[in-house]
Amino acid sequence: MPPFPSVWYNAVVTYVLGVETSCDETAAAVVKDGCEILSNIVSSQAKIHEQYGGVFPEIASRQHILHIVPVLERALSQADLELEAMGGVAVTYGPGLAGSLLVGVNVAKGLALANHLPLIGVNHLEAHIYANWLQQEDEIMFPLLCLIASGGHTNLVLMTAHGRYQSLGQTLDDAAGEAFDKVARLLDLGYPGGPEIERVAEKGDPSAFDFPRAWLKNSYNFSFSGLKTAVLYLVRGYGADPGPGARRASDNGGLPVTDLAASFQAAVVDVLVEKTRAAAQEFDVRQVLLAGGVASNRVLRQQMKDRIGVPVLCPSAELCTDNAACVAAVGWFRLQDGDRADWDLDVIPGLKLTSH
């Protein structure tokens, strides 16, 4: 397959339309010059998936099909721009759920082809990192360390320049956000679990339970499944059935939900902060960037700022979770560099973060 016609290559890129459908958020955004958000529309399916305690892939892709066009229309109208004004279309092509990614990629291809716009495929993890370039007051300086903590990933990445990544470590089992979601389910809290645990943990004692921390010595990898199992055994120890109804059982059995949530959160945060601190020191970075849904956790943000030793930057909470503005931001940097996707851009559900 030939690339998009070269006549579309050289135009100056100012506005980029971002499209994101990798999981359960249907999102579109218009970003100017890679950093200024003109619109950022996110249609969340969280309420629909709540009853399953996690994302139901088939339902997610169908919901994307229903919502993608209205979301795109709102993104353009809020930015007060026509499609023709765009310098390109940027779309998440992985990692994520195949059926969900397919919706965004095909819509983005159609828009690019029909409007003679260049297309760029964006790695979802890179998009999370680039949320930090959106309206950040502090100048971002390399080399930097980035902690991506989301529902599907926990990665420590050394970044030496735009688009240059060295993976230092990742989770060996559950992602940090996944652990929040699963423990929230054990405690009969809502979905997504992270915000729910953070909310109830405010009233709990973080030192009430000494949950295990998987330090995995001499490695920047993570593991959260042992911690999750420790919570499971404790809940059972209180005579409550883990999952729906656990809190009702607590009326009788005294399940200390707030202390469990606070102690679990403290254990996750402790490991994330300590490994990030050690890597920041070893690689002598100038800054640490936080990214991904878990980075919106206020306890994590505060402890990072208190314990890391170099400036810690984090996007606003809305930009930590899935959105298309950060996809457009990556797109702008890549399009500026002359990168373009081919016609046959396909989804890659297991895409890794690599340099380009």
CB of 176 to ligand KG4, least distance (A): 7
Under the binding rule (CB under 6 A), the answer on residue 150 touching ligand KG4 is yes
Smallest gap from Cβ 124 to Zn ion, in A, equals 6
Site string for Zn ion, 297-336 (x = CB under 5 A): -------------------------x--------------
Cβ atoms 24, 46 nearer than 8 A: yes
What does the alpha-carbon distance between residue 272 and residue 105 come to, in Å, rounded to a whole number?
A: 33
> Of 265 and 287, which has the nearer Cβ to ligand KG4?
265
Judged by CB under 6 A, does residue 294 bind ligand KG4? yes
Q: Which of 332, 336, 320, 319 is nearest to 40 (CA)?
A: 319
Of 88 and 259, nearer to ligand KG4 (C-beta) is 259
Taking each helix axis from N to C end, the angle separating 298-307 and 257-282, rounded to the nearest 10 degrees, works out to: 40
Compare residues 23 and 312 and give the one whose CB is closer to ligand KG4.
Answer: 23
Q: In terms of DSSP H, where are the helices of 21-161?
A: 46-49, 57-79, 98-115, 124-130
Question: 292, 315, 319, 351: which one contacts ligand KG4 (CB under 6 A)?
Answer: 292
Which residue number, 37 or 234, has a Cβ lying nearer to Zn ion? Answer: 37
Judging by beta carbons within 10 Å of its beta carbon (0-12, 13-18, 19+), is residue 203 exposed, middle or buried?
exposed
Beta carbons within 10 angstroms of residue 71's beta carbon = 24
Place of tokens 């990898």: 221
> Is residue 329 within 8 Å of 87, Cβ to Cβ?
no
How far apart are the C-alpha atoms of 275 and 165, rounded to whole Å? 18
Residue 160 has, within 13 A of its CA and on its CB side, a CA count of 9
Question: Quick check: 151 binds ligand KG4 (CB under 6 A)?
Answer: yes
Contact with ligand KG4 (CB under 6 A): which of 118, 169, 194, 315?
194
In the bound complex, what is the minimum distance in angstroms from residue 20's beta carbon to Zn ion? Answer: 8
> Binding marks (x or -) toward ligand KG4, 241..280, rule CB under 6 A?
----------------------------------------
Residue range at the interface with ligand KG4 (CB under 6 A); choices 150-158, 203-211, 329-337, 343-351? 150-158
Site for Zn ion in 131-160 (CB under 5 A): 150
| Minimum CB distance to Zn ion, residue 232 (Å) | 26
Task: Give the residue with the Cβ less far from ligand KG4, 276 or 296.
Answer: 296
Q: What is the rounded CA–CA span in Å between residue 331 and residue 340?
A: 9
- 53 touches ligand KG4 by CB under 6 A: no
Rank residues 264 and 333 by Cβ distance to ligand KG4 and give the closer one.
Answer: 264
How far is residue 120's CA from residue 187's CA, in Å, rounded to a whole number? 42
Per CB under 6 A, the list member of 17, 23, 105, 341 interacting with ligand KG4 is 23
Residues 174-193 that bind ligand KG4 (CB under 6 A): 177-178, 180-181, 192-193
Burial of 320 (0-12, 13-18, 19+ CB in 10 A): buried
- Rounded Cα distance between 212 and 287, Å, is 29
When CB distances are held under 5 to 8 angstroms depending on the partner's kind, the choice from ligand KG4, Zn ion, none that residue 296 binds is: ligand KG4
Question: Contact 333/81 with Cβ under 8 angstroms?
Answer: no
β-pairing, 36-44 vs 88-94, is unpaired
**Shortest spacing between CB 128 and Zn ion, in angstroms:** 6
The footprint of ligand KG4 (CB under 6 A) covers 23, 150-152, 177-178, 180-181, 192-195, 198, 292-294, 296-297, 321-322
The footprint of Zn ion (CB under 5 A) covers 150, 322
